[in-house]
Chains A and B, each alone.
Chain A
């Protein structure tokens, strides 16, 4: 009895202390994540135009309209294409350059800065910069036409414009991948590489069978980060192509912002946001699972 009366208040106190300690993080999580997401889900079920005081609940109408919208379908295709091709490009270039500049020489240090530099620039600036280079009257076309050539339709032909957009996205983003892969490369145990060399493995064999498997978790992080970033592409589209020509480079995020704030259809834009959020989370989860299965296979 004495024992019981001694422990009960202490457990209660412990619980209260735990609650106090997790309260700030929980509140922050709720304000920063739960409320916006909850609000987006709620708005997606309304016809809110951004001006009226009380939005009308329209149920699943926005979602029904969204899946039948050809503009949305095209934007989804462009976004997925950019995400898949861009992720491959950013990771191949990131890993390739990381291997090349993986050393402590001055030249390597300088090259790392150069490779990371595009990522420091705002995506808006990057878009304007490349439109000045690749536009119809841009630097490249001025050079081409000055030498008697025809204008290269980097931004005026629908196919070229999508390719150009993806190329610029890769250029602007792969610096982060270089840094992450460099960190991964430097964490590969030197003893493993040395043992493989002593066993007579060539440089390629060492990379293929020792370094690359050891980089598994870094690859997962890089792929997921690139994928999620590219699925949210917006600002670069604004400054590079403005979604043109003829809406051919509109991405989902671009469309969401446009529908929400330009066409005053915040309810519909919220439905698009919710779908994008779910798709992004699902893709990230699938990629993580697949990568984890691959990593397990390597280590087993």
Chain B
């Protein structure tokens, strides 16, 4: 009996310990920004992409380290599939970093993040107010990423006799017919996350006009996501039927789609402004142009531009060196050379920060300047958010159009998903 009691006690103790560890830094509360001293290691979890490599991040923070002797910034790549996967795992293990890049705060994440609202430097950072949760700022970013952009092959447009980029979705569809007749695949897409993302990017400017309070209306149950996007789903289905997109595109990965566009096989490619960084280094024998995503007939053109925060940073409440983490994040989003470097590296934009622009980037800047407003997209940010995982659920359902599902069925499935998570 005694050993059995002992083992029960041991298991109980271990379970309690493990459960306590699950809370990560959850026990923290309040916005006290002191602590940790002025020397030590600040751990920063960052997104690693072809543009933002580990060595880029390491080089980026070197000036900060030089200006703060005794401070080391440890760049950490995601150990999971992405930063979004890695952070909860690290929190569960009680091993969260001090600073996290790429994620923005929502009601779930905000509970673990430091409230930055009272920091004076926060107000001047892009989209900080729009990304606020319940009026409190937890996320600060370096710049803006324009989302609703259509990059095009100028040679293909010329060959198809298209003088001006389309302004409405009807014109876009007509142009697709001309491009197909000229021997081009009108629109390049891919599997992965690309299918759903492209349709959201395309829909932003018209959706923001037909439903200006889209997020609020969806949250209040006055509007359904799938229903409101049904016209775009129907349009996309018609493109698949007419061969304006490759019916085998689901067998392509994201990098494949870029490669095919740069190879000159496709005439158009819907993507965010970060695509300009890839364009700047790609080998191609044609000039790339860009125009804002067209709107529905009768709507104002150009419409509001889908925009997301570029290089968003948050500080964990549990940060061991909170004061240092604050200094680092302030430096990352306000220091001219740090900001310019990040904008340059990932093809992002910020008013007042002049950097070397490629001709394509200059066009994107003009599109951003001409847009009457910027609007969140898909899952959104701050208070304008849909349930976590919406973008992926949407992507999966949009891919259903390629495997025989009707737009109505896809819209209904999206609505069912949102309802099940709300």
- Interface on A for B, CB 8 Å cutoff? 19, 26-27, 30-31, 34-35, 38-39, 42, 48-55, 65, 131, 134-138, 141, 151, 153-158, 238, 241-248, 257-266
Additional pairs, 20, CB under 8 Å, beyond known A53-B23, A246-B400, A261-B81: A26-B7, A35-B14, A50-B87, A53-B26, A54-B23, A131-B253, A135-B252, A136-B248, A136-B249, A156-B191, A157-B403, A241-B191, A243-B396, A244-B192, A245-B191, A247-B400, A261-B85, A261-B89, A262-B84, A265-B388
Residues of A within 8 A of B112 (CB): 51
Contacts of B248 in A (CB 8 A): 136, 151, 153, 156
Q: How far, in Å, is B78 (CB) from chain A's closest CB? A: 10
- A52, A54, A265 pick with most chain B CB within 10 angstroms: A52
Residues of B within 8 A of A248 (CB): 403
CA distance in complex: A30, B7 (Å):
9
Contact bitstring B15-53, A, C-beta under 8 A = 1, else 0? 100110011101100000000000000000000000000
Q: A-B pairs with CB below 8 Å: how many?
A: 153
- Output the nearest chain A residue to B17 by Cβ-Cβ distance: A35
Q: Would you call B400 and A136 a contact (CB within 8 A)?
A: no
A190 to chain B, nearest CB (A): 48
Contact with A along B53-94 (1 / 0, CB 8 A): 000000000000000000000000000111011111101100
Counting chain A CB atoms within 10 Å of each CB, which of B3, B87, B253, B389 scores highest? B253
- What are 20 residue pairs bridging A and B, where the CB atoms are less than 8 Å apart in the complex? A19-B3, A27-B10, A30-B11, A39-B22, A50-B88, A51-B88, A53-B23, A54-B26, A136-B246, A136-B256, A137-B251, A141-B251, A156-B249, A238-B81, A242-B192, A244-B396, A246-B397, A262-B81, A263-B421, A264-B388
- Give the distance in Å from the alpha carbon of A161 to the alpha carbon of B399 in the complex: 14
On chain A, the residues within 8 Å of B249 by CB distance are: 136, 156
- The answer for the CA separation of A225 and B167 in the assembled complex, in Å, is 59
Chain B residues touching A, range: 35 or more
Residues of B within 8 A of A243 (CB): 396
Per the bound structure, the CA–CA distance linking A156 and B248 in Å amounts to 5
Of B80, B192, B256, B421, the contact of A261 (CB 8 Å cutoff)? B80
Task: Give B111-123 as 1s and 0s: 1 = Cβ < 8 Å from A's Cβ atoms.
Answer: 1100000000000
Grouping DSSP codes into helix (H, G, I), strand (E, B) and loop, the B interface class, with mixed when no group exceeds half, is helix
Say yes or no: A137-B252 contact (C-beta < 8 A), given A242-B192, A261-B85. yes
Residues on the A chain within 8 Å of B27, using CB:
53
Q: Interface centre among A42, A49, A153, A245, by most B CB within 10 Å?
A: A245
Chain B residues lying within 8 Å of A156, measured Cβ to Cβ, are: 191, 247-252, 402
Closest Cβ of chain B to A74, distance in Å, is 11
Q: Which residues of B contact A50 (CB under 8 A)?
A: 87-89, 91-92, 108
**Distance between B138 CB and nearest chain A CB, rounded to angstroms:** 12
Residues of B within 8 A of A264 (CB): 88, 108, 388-389
Q: A70: shortest Cβ distance to chain B, in Å?
A: 9
Nearest CB in chain B to that of A260: its residue: B88
User: Residue B109 at the A interface, CB < 8 A?
Assistant: yes
Q: Select which of A65, A137, A258, A261 is within 8 A of B260 by beta carbon.
A: A137
Does B320 make an interface contact (CB < 8 A)?
A: no
Given A156-B247, A238-B81: A263 and B15 interface contact (C-beta under 8 Å): no
- Does B362 count as interface, using CB distance less than 8 angstroms? no
Give min CB distance, B349 to chain A, whole Å.
28
With A243-B396, A246-B396, A261-B80 given, is the CB distance from A51 to B252 under 8 Å? Answer: no
> CA A259 – CA B108 in complex, angstroms?
15
Task: Tell whether, in the assembled complex, residue B111 and residue A39 are in contact, meaning their CB atoms are under 8 Å apart.
Answer: no
B392 within 8 A of A: yes
Q: Which of B185-210 contact A (CB under 8 A)?
A: 191-192
B405 interface contact, C-beta 8 A: yes
- Distance in angstroms between the alpha carbons of A65 and B417 in the assembled complex: 12
Option from B10, B82, B256, B403 in Cβ contact (under 8 Å) with A246:
B403
A139 to B313, CA, bound (A): 41
* Across-interface contacts of B86 in A (CB, < 8 A): 261
Interface of A is mostly: loop
Residue of A nearest to B398 (CB): A246
Q: B378-404, CB under 8 A of A: which get 1 and which 0? A: 000000000111001000110110110
Q: Which of A39, A258, A266 has its CB near the most chain B CB atoms (within 10 A)?
A: A39
- Complex interface: chain B residues within 8 A of A54 (CB): 23, 26
CA separation between A65 and B403, bound complex, in Å?
A: 26
Contact of B191 among A30, A155, A263 (CB under 8 A): A155
Using CB atoms, name the residue of chain A closest to B400. A246
Query: Bound state CA distance, A246 and B11, in angstroms?
Result: 43
Instruction: List the A residue with the shortest CB-CB distance to B254.
Output: A242
Highest count of chain A CB atoms <10 Å: which of B6, B26, B402, B403: B403
Q: A50-B92, A54-B26, A266-B88 are in contact. Are A247 and B396 (CB under 8 A)?
A: yes
Please, which residues of chain A bring their CB within 8 A of the CB of B3? 19
Which A residue sits closest to B110, measured CB to CB? A51
A245 near B392 (CB under 8 angstroms)? no
Contact B111 A51 (CB under 8 A): yes
In the complex, chain B residues whose CB is within 8 Å of the CB of A137: 251-252, 256, 259-260
User: Given known contacts A136-B252, A261-B85, is B108 in contact with A39 (CB within 8 Å)?
Assistant: no
Contact A38:B260 (CB < 8 A) given known A136-B249, A155-B250, A156-B249: no
Give A26 to B7 CA distance when docked, in angstroms.
8
**B11 and A153 form a contact (CB under 8 A):** no
Complex alpha-carbon distance, A42 and B20, angstroms: 13
Cross-chain contact of A39 among B19, B85, B396 (Cβ < 8 A): B19
Closest residue on chain B to residue A27 by CB atoms: B10
Nearest residue (CB) in B for A134 is B251
Which residue on B lies nearest to A52, using beta carbons? B111
Given A136-B256, A156-B191, A243-B396: A53 in contact with B403 (beta carbons within 8 A): no
Find out whether the CB atom of B389 lies under 8 angstroms from the CB atom of A263.
yes
Contact present for B256 and A135 (CB under 8 Å)? yes
Q: Which residues of B contact A151 (CB under 8 A)?
A: 248, 251
Contact yes or no, B10 A52, CB < 8 A: no
| A246 vs B6: C-alpha distance when bound (angstroms) | 51
